[in-house]
Amino acid sequence: MAKQNLLGVVGLGRMGGPLAQRLMRAKFPLMVWDTVAACRKPFENKNNIRVATPGEMARECAVIFFVVPSSQEIAACVKGKDGVLQNARKGLVICDLTTSDPAETRKTARRAARRGIHYMDAGMSGGPAGILAGNLTLMMGGDAKVLPRIRRYLAPFAENIFLLGPPGSGHAMKLINNMVLHTIFLATCEGARLAERMGMRVADMIKVFNVSTAYSYASRHRFPNNILNGSWNAQARIYNPWKDVGIAVRLARECGADVELAERTLAFLEKAVARGMLEQDYSLLYRDFDKIRKGTAA
């Protein structure tokens, strides 16, 4: 394996698995890792792919992609004598594709810089389908001089790449994106409940929205594919919007910004969490919308 093209992928779940597959199809040699053995299994005994820990990757890879749930998992991978920072080869680039706390991202980036490691944060939008189609959007933060070096490694899965500022900027924009995304979803849920009360079909409302100005990701994808078809399978936990909107609201408070609508979204999600729905599917926010709003017990 040529080290200058050797890539690492840490996290092989809903997003990381498709990312590794896409890089594999692009013929890049890979090292992959996940703490869950079942996620590692599809990549075992494959040509040009090796299962290895993050510390092992750091010694050999040109770029390591982190595709894990949060800043907490990133910290676990980079710290300690077996972690990435203490084992990194000169010139290593870390590309953090998580939806993380920008404050933690900046701390990790500073620690990495002290060891000569380049840290680029890159919030993703487009989901697994976007990765596999090669048209993902990346919201990035970090050194502008590093991005040209890694563009060819991003090209197999990302079409729209925005460098937004210093480390933490990409993750901050992803949180803003998700804050708006989830607020729009709840507004669409509220509209759907009103349509039902007035004797109209939600499916018809969604058809209207999709050719009108209320068009959104919620109307285009979430309602048709995860709710109205009865699957209730958005492949995302309620934990995800609760975490992301919570961090976004906290950041707004810290910089004195007024995000009243996001505060209301967070309050609704807090009610869902209080009902024991933290690990339940995101689409169930609509199924139980009235009960959550009223604070009714599960």
Summarised one tens digit per residue, pLDDT across range 36-50 is: 999 999 999 999 999
The pLDDT, as a whole number, for residue 3 is: 64
How does DSSP classify residue 144?
T
Beta strands at 118-125 and 136-141: parallel, antiparallel or unpaired: antiparallel
How long, in residues, is the chain? 298
Domain limits for position 265: 172-294
Cα(68)–Cα(47) distance, integer angstroms: 24
1, pLDDT greater than 60: no
Span 178-226, pLDDT tens digits: 999 999 999 999 999 999 999 999 999 999 999 999 999 999 999 999 9
Token couple for 174: 């992803």
How does DSSP classify residue 88?
P
Mean pLDDT of the chain: 96
Cα(280)–Cα(259) distance, integer angstroms: 26
DSSP strands (E only) in 116-255: 118-125, 136-141, 158-163
Looking at the structure, tell me whether residues 150 and 182 fall in a common domain. Answer: no
Residue 2 pLDDT level (bands cut at 50, 70, 90): very low
Q: Last residue of some domain: 166, 200, 220?
A: 166
Beta strands at 158-163 and 30-33: parallel, antiparallel or unpaired: unpaired
Q: Last residue of some domain: 144, 166, 188?
A: 166
Span 121-147, pLDDT tens digits: 999 999 999 999 999 999 999 999 999
The pLDDT, as a whole number, for residue 217 is: 97
How many domains would you assign to the chain?
2
Looking at the structure, tell me whether residues 70 and 8 fall in a common domain. Answer: yes
**Contact yes or no for 118/147 (Cβ under 8 A):** no
Looking at the structure, tell me whether residues 193 and 151 fall in a common domain. Answer: no
Q: What are phi and psi of 282, to 5 degrees?
A: -55, -35
Q: Last residue of some domain: 138, 166, 194?
A: 166
Q: What is the mean pLDDT of residues 73-93?
A: 94
